[in-house]
Amino acid sequence: MTAKIIDGKSIAANVRHNCRSRVELLKRSSGITPGLAVFMVGEDPASAVYVRKKIQACADVGIQSHKFLFSHSDTQDVVIDKIRELSADPRIHGILVQLPLPKHFDLKAVLGAIDQEKDIDGFHLYNVGGLVVGSTVFPPCTPYGVMLLLDNSGVEIAGRNAVVVGASNIVGKPMALMLMQREATVSVCHAKTRDLAQFTILADILIVAAGCPNLITGPMVKSGAVVIDVGINRLPNGQLVGDCDFEAVSKRASMITPVPGGVGPMTVTMLLVNTISSAMRSANVANADFALADL
C-alpha cells in the first residue's frame, strides 16, 4: 500500500479563500474589519518567524493585524496592562500571545488576562473548559486544523480507534478531546508510555505530536491507518521532518500528511478562522461560527 498524501497546503488555501469572502462580506454588511493583536515578548528567532507568518496570513485574507513587541526586560505587568487595554478595544477581535514566554513570566496570568471572547488561540481556562464539555467557541488552532484535514479527506471518526502521541496542553490534550467529541475511542500516549508500539499499532487514526524525528516507524502502524504527523523537527543537515519515518509509514498507511505541507499550513489558517468568527460574533452576524462542514 502507498498512502495518499493529505495536502494541507491545498486544503488551507481553500479555507483561506473562504476566509477572504467572509471578511469582504463582513466589511460590506457591517463596516467591521476583523482585527488581530499579536504579542511577542523577547527575541526568540523561531517565534519571530511564526509571528511574521501570522501577520502575512492576516494581510492575505484582509484581517487588520497589530504587532506588540516587548523586550525580555519588560515586566509582566506592562504586558498584562496592554492585553487588558486591547481586550476592551472594539477594533480588536482576537488577541494572541506568541509562546514561549520568557521563563520569569507566569503563563497562566498572562493568558488569563485575555478576554475570553477574544482568545482566538483557545488557551484561556474558560475556553479549555468549553472544550472539555464540547462547547468551546475557540478550538485551539493545531488540533482544529487536524480535524479539518480529516473531514476534508473523508475520514470517518466515530467509533474508530484514535491514538494521540503527545499530551501537551496546546496539541495532544485538545486533540484527544476533539476526537472524543466526535465519538472516536481515544488513547493518549506520552514520554512515559511503556511500549508505545502496542498502542500505535491499534490506531485507525494515528496523530503524532511529540517532537521526536523517526519516533513512529513502519511496523508501529496498522495497515490502512490514517496518519497525521504534527511534529516539526529540524535535523542537523537543515532538513525539516516530522515525527514519522515518512517513507516506511507511507507504505503501511492509507493516508498521511507530509512535513512540511501537512498540518503546518492549517495551524495559521485556523487562527484566521477563529479571528473572523470572533469579529462576526461581535457584529451579531447569524451563523458566526464557522461550521467545519462550511470550510
Burial of residue 226 (number of CB atoms within 10 Å: 0-12, 13-18, 19+): buried
Find cell 484514535 and name the residue.
162
Residues in the chain: 295
Query: Candidates 24-32, 52-60, 106-114, 183-191 — which segment interacts with ligand NAP by CB under 6 A?
Result: 183-191
Buried b (16+ CB within 10 A) or exposed e, 4-38: eebbbeebbeebbebbbebbeebeeeeebebbbbb
Binding mask 236-275 toward ligand NAP (x if CB under 6 A, else -) reads ---------------------------xx--x--------
Number of residues that bind ligand NAP (CB under 6 A): 26
Least Å from the CB of residue 124 to ligand NAP:
18
Q: Is 233 near ligand NAP (CB under 6 A)?
A: yes
| CA–CA separation, 283 and 31 (whole Å) | 9
Helical pair 141-152 and 172-181, crossing angle rounded to 10 deg: 40
Q: Is 211 near ligand NAP (CB under 6 A)?
A: yes
Least Å from the CB of residue 78 to ligand NAP:
26
CA end-to-end span of the chain: 30
Helical pair 264-282 and 8-30, crossing angle rounded to 10 deg: 20
Q: Is 115 noted as a catalytic residue in this protein?
A: no
Least Å from the CB of residue 276 to ligand NAP:
19
Least Å from the CB of residue 91 to ligand NAP:
28
CB 188 within 8 A of CB 164: yes
Q: Is 116 noted as a catalytic residue in this protein?
A: no
Between 32 and 170, whose beta carbon lies closer to ligand NAP?
170
Q: Is 215 near ligand NAP (CB under 6 A)?
A: yes
226-229 and 185-189 beta bridge pairing: unpaired
Find cell 467572509 and name the residue.
22
Q: Is 232 near ligand NAP (CB under 6 A)?
A: yes
Residue of 115, 121, 204, 243 with catalytic role = 121
Residues 144-173 that bind ligand NAP (CB under 6 A): 165-168, 170-172
Least Å from the CB of residue 266 to ligand NAP:
7
Angle at 79 between CA 143 and CA 271, to 5 degrees: 25
Between 84 and 108, whose beta carbon lies closer to ligand NAP?
108
Q: Is 54 noted as a catalytic residue in this protein?
A: yes
Q: What sign has the CA pseudo-torsion 218, 222, 225, 227?
A: negative
Binding mask 92-121 toward ligand NAP (x if CB under 6 A, else -) reads ------------------------------
Residues annotated as part of the active site: 54, 98, 121
Name the site residues for ligand NAP (rule: CB under 6 A): 142, 165-168, 170-172, 189-193, 196, 209-212, 215, 230-233, 263-264, 267
